[in-house]
A and B are shown apart, each in its own frame.
Chain A
């Protein structure tokens, strides 16, 4: 009798946990759906031709768009990719091919993993002290450098992991043919790990294109078109922050539009990257 009771209790506990875990997973998905839906509903109302082609209007005047911020985000992200991706790729190459077990390689790997966990706002603050404070003005290139610093360890780590997956036989075959190592790395390893590397780069770009905190101290924002890289530059994320916190309904509307744009871009790139990786593992 007692035994049956005990068994019943254990089964009930088991059932309870099963329901709980299903519910927790459901809650996660529910919030994802809720956020997506809110941003889509509010954002679509803000999108129009003006949104993509016009400069922001002063408060109180209806209309206006965020054309300058869209261009600014594209330029800053592009520059960051230009700087961060080669640095990250070569760091990954060093860690995987030259300094796998060496003391320097271990130190770099350790520091890199720590850098990945440093808050992006601190990276922004650091770049502010290096590139903004000495010259006395905010700039697009400072913004790009701060995003590149965030990209670097992400790209380096995936590069190291992906090169590590390439079979040793390929390296040996290339070297046995008399190929120098640099040639072996660039034309054999990179080709073999192509889709994995691309995935890493895409994920890194997606990650930084939604960053706000580092740009607050580096690119800042501006209501005008950018004329050079050495001036405060409008970008979508800082604009969202400023406009969403403002008391004007027009501006809040624009902020939702910008949020929809950024979210769509980030999620699209993410899904694309996942798809690429799946193709590769097939």
Chain B
């Protein structure tokens, strides 16, 4: 009896190990399944349009000609706007939290910014459509155009041309910036906090100001971590759906003006999926999803590789 029980418990050990290994394997299965299933269910579109799908600007559900260029363009432009605004802001917010603020204040502000990251994206979308877009249309966009004279500015004037409608590429980029800001600043705060105090103190000892210590010591020391944080934020911005869908305007066109309506891959999927009754339309949409999957996969791959390299050179803690 006792031998039987020993046998059972030994056996259970193996079962337990295999079961947990099986659970761990599901994530590989899911990842492989995503690529396979999306490719297979996009086969009609892949067969018909091939790789030219990527640089074809036409998206015509009536004549069934589909190209991803306007969606890819919108995804990249809205992400670029978000990164340009969110990255410098995250650096100074992290600086504030780590170097400047009193620890209690830093904790309160830090928590508030983390809560900003927890708000569901659909709420950003609703707020963006009903509250922020009207303000953009009535105040901010005319201000940029007329008061600051950006419409007539050489070179970049075309970015700010056209009627201020509120919704459009610029608004989508700004909301996106607000969404990834807490995400990037949280990682940057951790990177800043990892810089050894001795290194900073020696710079202070030489008479450096806080900003000089940050610029010449902290930023340099943490540059790899900062780049890692940017990649993570980038991946998030590329695939953000609901917040963008509400405010980007959903027009399949490529316009040089940031005031114009556009679309992104995710917003096209969210908007048109219910209308896709024809198989070729559905397959074109899934093909679009596959393009987004490949884009984010590559970004994540680079980010992971980067973070791993970082761990090797700087030790754990990230």
In the complex the two chains form, is B299's CB within 8 Å of A35's CB? no
B13 at the interface (CB under 8 A from A): yes
Stretch at the interface among A47-55, A117-125, A190-198: A117-125
Encoded as 1 (CB less than 8 Å from any A CB) or 0, chain B from 208 to 247 comes to 0111101000000000000000001001101111100110
Give the contacting residue for A38; candidates B100, B120, B127, B300; CB below 8 A.
B127
CA–CA, A29 and B126, complex, Å = 19
A80 at the interface (CB under 8 A from B): no
Within 8 A of B (CB), among A70-117: 86-87, 90-91, 93-95, 97-99, 104-105, 107-108, 110-115, 117
Provide 26 A-B residue pairs closer than 8 Å at the C-beta atoms, listed in order of the A residue.
A14-B212, A20-B92, A25-B92, A28-B116, A31-B116, A34-B131, A90-B20, A91-B23, A91-B27, A94-B23, A114-B301, A117-B232, A118-B239, A118-B300, A126-B30, A126-B33, A130-B37, A180-B9, A180-B12, A182-B12, A182-B16, A182-B17, A212-B122, A244-B125, A252-B130, A271-B115
Contacts of B239 in A (CB 8 A): 118-122
Query: From A14, which residue of chain B is reached at the shortest CB distance?
Result: B209
In the complex the two chains form, is B123's CB within 8 Å of A263's CB? yes
B19 at the interface (CB under 8 A from A): yes
In the complex the two chains form, is B297's CB within 8 Å of A98's CB? no
Give the contacting residue for A87; candidates B21, B26, B93, B300; CB below 8 A.
B26
B255 at the interface (CB under 8 A from A): no
Give the contacting residue for B182; candidates A28, A90, A104, A149; CB below 8 A.
A28
CA–CA, A200 and B304, complex, Å = 21
In the complex the two chains form, is A108's CB within 8 Å of B27's CB? yes
CA–CA, A97 and B13, complex, Å = 13
In the complex the two chains form, is A10's CB within 8 Å of B212's CB? yes
Could you tell me the distance in whole angstroms from the C-beta of A81 to the nearest C-beta in chain B? 15
B34 at the interface (CB under 8 A from A): yes
Contacts of B12 in A (CB 8 A): 180, 182
Give the contacting residue for B122; candidates A104, A114, A240; CB below 8 A.
A240
In the complex the two chains form, is A126's CB within 8 Å of B38's CB? yes
Stretch at the interface among B50-58, B154-162, B194-202, B266-274: B266-274
Q: A25-B93, A38-B127, A121-B289 are in contact. Are A241 and B242 (CB under 8 A)?
A: yes
In the complex the two chains form, is A126's CB within 8 Å of B34's CB? yes
**Which residues of A approach B to under 8 Å, CB–CB?**
10-11, 13-14, 16-18, 20-22, 24-25, 27-29, 31-32, 34-35, 38-39, 42, 86-87, 90-91, 93-95, 97-99, 104-105, 107-108, 110-115, 117-123, 125-126, 129-130, 133, 149, 152-153, 156, 180-182, 185, 206-207, 209-213, 216-217, 237, 240-241, 244-245, 252, 255-256, 259, 262-263, 266-267, 270-271, 274
Stretch at the interface among B62-70, B105-113, B144-152: B105-113
B25 at the interface (CB under 8 A from A): yes
If over half of A's interface residues share one DSSP class (helix, strand or loop), that class is named, otherwise mixed; here it is: helix
B118 at the interface (CB under 8 A from A): yes
In the complex the two chains form, is A212's CB within 8 Å of B242's CB? yes
Give the contacting residue for B241; candidates A32, A118, A119; CB below 8 A.
A119
B81 at the interface (CB under 8 A from A): no
B97 at the interface (CB under 8 A from A): yes
B95 at the interface (CB under 8 A from A): yes
Contacts of B214 in A (CB 8 A): 17
A-B contact count (CB 8 A): 250
Contacts of B245 in A (CB 8 A): 241
B28 at the interface (CB under 8 A from A): yes
The number of chain B residues with a CB under 8 A from chain A is: 84
Q: A25-B109, A117-B303, A118-B34 are in contact. Are A241 and B122 (CB under 8 A)?
A: yes
Contacts of A11 in B (CB 8 A): 209
Can you name 20 extra interface pairs (CB under 8 A) apart from A121-B269, A122-B296? A21-B100, A22-B100, A32-B112, A32-B113, A32-B119, A99-B24, A108-B24, A114-B300, A114-B301, A117-B296, A118-B297, A119-B241, A121-B239, A121-B289, A122-B38, A152-B26, A180-B9, A244-B130, A244-B246, A267-B118
Could you tell me the distance in whole angstroms from the C-beta of B119 to the nearest C-beta in chain A? 6
In the complex the two chains form, is A21's CB within 8 Å of B16's CB? no
In the complex the two chains form, is B118's CB within 8 Å of A21's CB? no
CA–CA, A87 and B301, complex, Å = 24
Could you tell me the distance in whole angstroms from the C-beta of B54 to the nearest C-beta in chain A? 17
B281 at the interface (CB under 8 A from A): no
Within 8 A of A (CB), among B1-53: 9-10, 12-13, 16-17, 19-21, 23-28, 30-31, 33-34, 37-38, 40-41
Query: From A214, which residue of chain B is reached at the shortest CB distance?
Result: B241
Contacts of B33 in A (CB 8 A): 126, 130
In the complex the two chains form, is A98's CB within 8 Å of B17's CB? yes
Could you tell me the distance in whole angstroms from the C-beta of A16 to the nearest C-beta in chain B? 8
Could you tell me the distance in whole angstroms from the C-beta of A154 to the nearest C-beta in chain B? 12
In the complex the two chains form, is B31's CB within 8 Å of A114's CB? yes
Contacts of B185 in A (CB 8 A): 28
CA–CA, A256 and B25, complex, Å = 41
Query: From A25, which residue of chain B is reached at the shortest CB distance?
Result: B96
Query: From A23, which residue of chain B is reached at the shortest CB distance?
Result: B92
Contacts of A39 in B (CB 8 A): 123, 126-127
Query: From A179, which residue of chain B is reached at the shortest CB distance?
Result: B9
Contacts of A240 in B (CB 8 A): 122, 126
Could you tell me the distance in whole angstroms from the C-beta of B279 to the nearest C-beta in chain A? 11
Give the contacting residue for A111; candidates B20, B31, B126, B232; CB below 8 A.
B31
In the complex the two chains form, is A113's CB within 8 Å of B300's CB? yes
In the complex the two chains form, is A18's CB within 8 Å of B115's CB? no
Contacts of B97 in A (CB 8 A): 25
